[in-house]
Chain A
Amino acid sequence: MFYYVDVSGADLKPDSFEELAMPLFDQLFNFARWMTQNREEAEDLVQETYTKALKGFSSFQLGTNFRAWMYRILRNTFLTSRTGLKVTMTVPLDTEEGGPELAIESDTPETLMFERSNREMLQGAMDELPVNFREILLLCEVEEMSYQEIAETLSVPIGTVMSRLSRARRALRDRLRAPFQKSGTAGIAKGTVVQGSNHGL
């Protein structure tokens, strides 16, 4: 769902903020929780985001994307928080090395996951990703933002969105692949079902 404010300046009154911002509450909290990995911090982050957004609502540029604007405020607030400062010190740089993943393997991380893993495993792998990979995957896959929206949210060019997304996906595949490679069970026959698996994928 997209939230474009295309009203005239006269209609941009405080009540509009509540109408636009509150439907984003759940997804902003989910995003904040993934970023902070802590419930209290996520609540503080969402609260601060709404306070800042409300304060700056009069300066919100008409015709631009409200959702991307809210996410940008949340992200900037997170980056200046204690947790944000800590995690951004360890994020990988946006290099172009590596290129796209081309090879088709008999047991790809995807097939392995669908045959043998569960949602928790994927969530665990996402938890381990550097924060800039985690956030771009969430914005693309969970929030279903377009590359343009992601570029606006992260304040980076679209080219960077594409390369970072590609590396984020590769990093996630590597993390999903690692346990199978370690245990040497990557060659288990397709169709094997792990007991208790409840991933609903």
Chain B
Amino acid sequence: MVCEGWKEKLDTYLDGEVLEQEMREFDAHVRNCPSCAADALGRVQMKRAIQVAGKRFTPSAEFRQRMQQRMAARPKRSLNFGWMLAAAAAVVLAAGALTTSYMGVRSGRELAANQELANRDHVLSEIADLHVETLASSSPVDVVSTDRHTVKPWFQGKIPFAFNLPELPNTGFTLLGGRMTYLDQAPGAHLIYDIRKHHISVFVFQERALSSKLKLSDEAASSNRLPFNTETWSQNGLRYFVIGDASAADIENLAKLFKASS
């Protein structure tokens, strides 16, 4: 076939992805080869056509405004506040250094407890974000069903582990559906339940897939810094989170149902 070697790389050449020396050779060849020149012209026209046709959609003014408002509404730390924080941090560090020199090294247990608190707040705020984002979405669940025998198999092949869903008759809870989710790039299951018009999220992840900063002890059950009630525990290698604006008793009851079914 004529110019087989050249044509094989024609798209790469037109994308500007061949080496400089090769590019010069291509230029020279295309100038002298009508067949390759015609082919190159056609492909360039196609590239331009896709470029024009691809710029097809523009966001609505309403959506743009909504996004701009969201970005503008983010809490911003002022410079002064930043300096205050830095100054406060310096004072704390200095005080810490003095205390350390006076009292000696703090006990490992205390440090571990502080780390645990920081981990707990971090993880639970991530979980709260996932919960809120999902409920705010126009399509919060990907599998819509109140039947656990429909929802559970839906996750087959989508997440690398299996889990059990509790039976719910006479409990007041209704399963609304589920979706895939990610925490720290680890895939997991997100289930949504309803009780008295309150939506509760249950997240299930593989414990070993979560990075060390996301690992919690079972004592880290709840956070009083969130506007939600939460429960978390580890069972059979899986980490469960239950979160919602329902009462603490409801959250606890749903957690108990999950613990009993696993």
What chain B residues lie within 8 Å of A46 (beta carbons)? 59, 63, 67
- The answer to whether B58 and A201 have CB atoms under 8 Å apart is no
A30 to B59, CA, bound (A): 8
Q: A50-B70, A80-B181, A110-B42 are in contact. Are A199 and B49 (CB under 8 A)?
A: yes
What chain A residues lie within 8 Å of B76 (beta carbons)? 14-15
- The answer to whether A109 and B35 have CB atoms under 8 Å apart is no
Which of A60-68, A137-145, A185-193 lines the interface with chain B?
A137-145
Q: A85-B142, A100-B7 are in contact. Are A113 and B58 (CB under 8 A)?
A: no
A76 to B187, CA, bound (A): 11
- The answer to whether A141 and B57 have CB atoms under 8 Å apart is no
A43 to B70, CA, bound (A): 13
Query: B179 at interface (Cβ–Cβ under 8 A)?
Result: yes
Q: A14-B74, A50-B70 are in contact. Are A43 and B59 (CB under 8 A)?
A: yes
Partner of A102, one of B4, B54, B59: B4
Give the shortest distance, in Å, between A33 (CB) and chain B (any CB). 4
What chain A residues lie within 8 Å of B133 (beta carbons)? 48, 51
Which of A1-9, A90-98, A162-170 lines the interface with chain B?
A162-170
Partner of B50, one of A82, A99, A141: A141
Query: A197 at interface (Cβ–Cβ under 8 A)?
Result: no
Query: A26 at interface (Cβ–Cβ under 8 A)?
Result: yes
What chain B residues lie within 8 Å of A142 (beta carbons)? 50-51, 54-55
Query: B113 at interface (Cβ–Cβ under 8 A)?
Result: no
Give the shortest distance, in Å, between A181 (CB) and chain B (any CB). 17
What chain A residues lie within 8 Å of B147 (beta carbons)? none
Query: B39 at interface (Cβ–Cβ under 8 A)?
Result: yes
A102 to B175, CA, bound (A): 56
Secondary structure class of chain B's binding surface, majority of residues: helix
Q: A46-B59, A54-B74 are in contact. Are A110 and B54 (CB under 8 A)?
A: no
Among B39, B49, B70, B137, find the residue whose CB has the most chain A CB atoms closer than 10 A.
B49
- The answer to whether A34 and B58 have CB atoms under 8 Å apart is no
Binary interface encoding of chain B residues 39-77 relative to chain A, with 1 for a CB under 8 A from any of its CBs, else 0: 100110111111111111111100110011011001011
Bin chain A's interface residue count.
35 or more
- The answer to whether A85 and B180 have CB atoms under 8 Å apart is yes
Query: B168 at interface (Cβ–Cβ under 8 A)?
Result: no
Query: B219 at interface (Cβ–Cβ under 8 A)?
Result: no
What chain A residues lie within 8 Å of B53 (beta carbons)? 119, 122-123, 126
- The answer to whether A108 and B49 have CB atoms under 8 Å apart is no
- The answer to whether B58 and A123 have CB atoms under 8 Å apart is no
Of all chain A residues, the one with the shortest Cβ separation from B39 is A104
Partner of A137, one of B16, B54, B129: B54
Partner of A25, one of B57, B64, B139: B64
Q: A44-B137, A201-B49 are in contact. Are A33 and B71 (CB under 8 A)?
A: no
Query: A74 at interface (Cβ–Cβ under 8 A)?
Result: no
Partner of B71, one of A50, A55, A108, A111: A50
Partner of B46, one of A14, A113, A119, A144: A113
- The answer to whether B182 and A34 have CB atoms under 8 Å apart is no
A114 to B53, CA, bound (A): 13
What chain A residues lie within 8 Å of B93 (beta carbons)? none
- The answer to whether A110 and B15 have CB atoms under 8 Å apart is no
What chain A residues lie within 8 Å of B56 (beta carbons)? 30, 33-34, 123
- The answer to whether A29 and B11 have CB atoms under 8 Å apart is no
Query: B17 at interface (Cβ–Cβ under 8 A)?
Result: yes
**30 A–B contacts, CB within 8 A, in A order:** A22-B68, A25-B67, A29-B59, A30-B55, A30-B56, A39-B57, A41-B138, A42-B57, A43-B59, A44-B138, A46-B59, A54-B74, A76-B182, A80-B182, A85-B158, A85-B180, A100-B7, A100-B8, A104-B35, A104-B39, A110-B46, A114-B49, A122-B50, A126-B53, A138-B54, A141-B50, A142-B50, A142-B51, A166-B11, A169-B46
The 10 closest A-B pairs by CB, nearest first: A110-B42, A142-B54, A33-B57, A82-B142, A141-B50, A29-B59, A122-B53, A201-B49, A80-B180, A30-B57
